[in-house]
Amino acid sequence: MLPTLTTLQQRKPYLYPPDWLCPQCNTALEDINHLWTCPYILPELNPCLTHRKEVVKFCDDCITAFSSSKILPDSFCADFSALDCWNYITPSDSCLWLTRGLLPRHLTDFLKAYFPLSVIYKVISPLLNDFQLELYVED
């Protein structure tokens, strides 16, 4: 794991001023979330837009997979889509957890109302893997 800017500032304060901000969006560069929220990082690859597209695809794929495995109430799709983990605009902490391959508790708690944990993991694991591959593996 690479050290954060805070750690580097403690080690060599003369190299890393405490107010190091992204010149484009004025966000602290030590924040790993900056990678996903700043549209100016690697503009030729545009990771921000890629992230947004892949979050939407992952959400849609989850809805399709869970809906095809069992008859669900009409409200399932809307309630599932409204979960905080799909908020890629800010993005929310739980959305960034998904980005790192972690399942937010409120996502599994929501799904446990409809499915046993074994089914949840069986359905969501390959989708989460595909999501990670699309985000982090170059073609």
Same domain, 26 and 58: no
Q: What is the pTM of this model?
A: 0.69
Question: Does 89 map to a domain?
Answer: yes
Question: Does 37 map to a domain?
Answer: no
For the cut 60, the answer to whether the pLDDT of residue 97 exceeds it is yes
Question: Does 73 map to a domain?
Answer: yes
Helix (H) or strand (E) segment spanning residue 134: helix 117-136
Mean pLDDT of 49-75: 92
Beta-carbon neighbour count of residue 68 at 10 Å? 10
User: Please, which residues have CB within 8 angstroms of residue 93's CB and are 6 or more apart in sequence?
Assistant: none
Q: What's the mean per-residue pLDDT of the chain? A: 82
Beta bridge partners, 28, equal 21
- pLDDT tens digit sequence for 15-33: 666 566 676 666 666 566 6
Distance CA 3, CA 16 (A): 13
Q: What is the reported pLDDT for 19?
A: 61
